[in-house]
Amino acid sequence: MQRTEIATLGEFGLIEHLTKDIQLTQKTSIKGVGDDAAVIDNANKKTLVATDILLEGVHFDLTYVPLKHLGYKAAVVNFSDIYAMNGTPQQIVVSLGISNRFCVEDLEALYEGLKQACKIYDVDLVGGDTSSSLTGLTINVTCIGYAEENQIVYRNGAQNTDLIFVSGDLGAAYMGLQLLEREKLVFDGQPDFQPDFAGKEYLLERQLKPEARKDIVKLLAENHIKPTAMIDISDGLASDMLHICKQSKAGCTIYEERIPIDYQTALMAETFNINVITAAMNGGEDYELLFTVPLSLYDQVSALPGIHLIGHITPEENGCNLITRDGQEMQLRAQGWDPLA
């Protein structure tokens, strides 16, 4: 494989090389890469801004994460935050901290993933920055989106008796991570090692190449349903449900038997001797949408495909609880990823 040192291009040459083929597609994007700042015109809509930083060795391990997948994921997790506000992502800016072990071809692969995500979700890459790094690879993505003021959904709108719904299934990304970590331990530098991923492709995709639930936001809008509160599940169902309850000054009851879990997730949890509900509640990185709607919308929302009723909102003094399959009541605890641990 060809290796082109970044020093041969320099910072500005590198930026031009990585962004030369970017075409702006959004009407709101007035000016993109190439000036001191991007220019965006959201007319009379409210602007939504989300940002995420990804650090090598903390958020990703390049032993098993391809750079193209990493670029894709870095963009999509930001899109997910905008969708969780019931908005539409429009632009991203990307800043990189790059150590000297990376070459131009590595960054081309990273940008290929970023561009693919932008193409699929109809988002413009309008700027960013690069810098040298002494600690590996750092990626910072900021996403700008918009929404009509009366359509924005916050975390603080859940009301007593509201129903709690979640899209898709939970725990798959966490089990995908466990699978990758296991194969990494087995690999241990063996040059001819072939990982065993047969039949586990779904779990790997959920971890390495997650998708933002643009389709769910569209489905709710088409059916004239506006959630009272919404969040994307990045830290695990328990942590993110607690965020809604704290912001809404409410309690909740979640039913274990109603938590959607894919067959592959359950099978892998059994293999690793992990409680599959723990994976769903605390694993994180599912990027499904967790939202609440009034009780009066039960029939309408329940009829929608890919959405599951898992519980209801209660008065704040009742606390936040999980009802197990055998009827036991357990307090919800946030045990998701702790960046300071």
Instruction: Look at the domain 163-331 and name its fold.
Output: Phosphoribosyl-aminoimidazole Synthetase; Chain A, domain 2 (3.90.650)
* Closest of 140, 206, 198, 139 to residue 170, by C-alpha: 206
Rounded distance between C-alpha atoms, residue 210 and residue 77, angstroms: 8
Map out the domains of the chain as residue ranges: 6-151, 163-331
Q: What confidence tier does 24 reach under pLDDT thresholds 50, 70, 90?
A: confident
Contact 314, 252 (CB under 8 A): yes
pLDDT at 189: 61
Q: What confidence tier does 32 reach under pLDDT thresholds 50, 70, 90?
A: confident
Residue 110 one-letter amino acid? L
Rounded distance between C-alpha atoms, residue 309 and residue 300, angstroms: 12
Average pLDDT over residues 270-291: 95
Rounded distance between C-alpha atoms, residue 298 and residue 171, angstroms: 25
Please give the share of the chain, as a percent, with pLDDT higher than 90.
Answer: 73
Question: Where in the chain does DSSP place strands (E)?
Answer: 29-31, 39-40, 46-55, 88-98, 124-132, 138-147, 163-167, 229-232, 251-255, 289-293, 307-314, 320-323, 329-331
Average pLDDT over residues 305-311: 98
| Cβ contacts of 243-246, under 8 Å, gap ≥ 24 | 243/155, 244/155, 244/158, 244/290, 244/292, 245/158, 245/313, 245/316, 245/320
Please give the share of the chain, as a percent, with pLDDT higher than 70.
Answer: 90
Average pLDDT over residues 95-100: 93
Task: Specify the DSSP class assigned to residue 209.
Answer: S
Task: Specify the DSSP class assigned to residue 135.
Answer: S
Instruction: Look at the domain 6-151 and name its fold.
Output: 60s Ribosomal Protein L30; Chain: A; (3.30.1330)
Rounded distance between C-alpha atoms, residue 209 and residue 191, angstroms: 26
pLDDT at 222: 97
Q: What confidence tier does 183 reach under pLDDT thresholds 50, 70, 90?
A: confident
Contact 109, 71 (CB under 8 A): yes
Q: Average model confidence (pLDDT) for the chain?
A: 90
Rounded distance between C-alpha atoms, residue 310 and residue 312, angstroms: 7
User: Which positions ≥6 away from 302 have C-beta within 8 Å?
Assistant: 309
pLDDT at 144: 96
Q: What confidence tier does 17 reach under pLDDT thresholds 50, 70, 90?
A: low
Q: What confidence tier does 9 reach under pLDDT thresholds 50, 70, 90?
A: low
pLDDT at 242: 97
Please report, for the chain, how many H helices and E strands are present, in that order.
10, 13
Q: What confidence tier does 341 reach under pLDDT thresholds 50, 70, 90?
A: very low
pLDDT tens-place string over residues 142-157: 999 999 999 999 999 9
Q: Is the pLDDT confidence value at 31 over 80?
A: no
For residue 317, the tally of other CB atoms under 10 A from its CB is 7
* Closest of 238, 254, 84 to residue 157, by C-alpha: 84
Q: What confidence tier does 38 reach under pLDDT thresholds 50, 70, 90?
A: confident
Average pLDDT over residues 289-313: 98
Q: What confidence tier does 192 reach under pLDDT thresholds 50, 70, 90?
A: low
Q: What confidence tier does 339 reach under pLDDT thresholds 50, 70, 90?
A: very low
User: Which positions ≥6 away from 316 have C-beta within 8 Å?
Assistant: 245, 249, 250, 251
pLDDT at 271: 92
**Who has greater pLDDT, 334 or 121?**
121
Q: Is the pLDDT confidence value at 275 over 90?
A: yes
Among 104-118, 128-142, 264-278, 316-330, whose mean pLDDT is lowest? 128-142
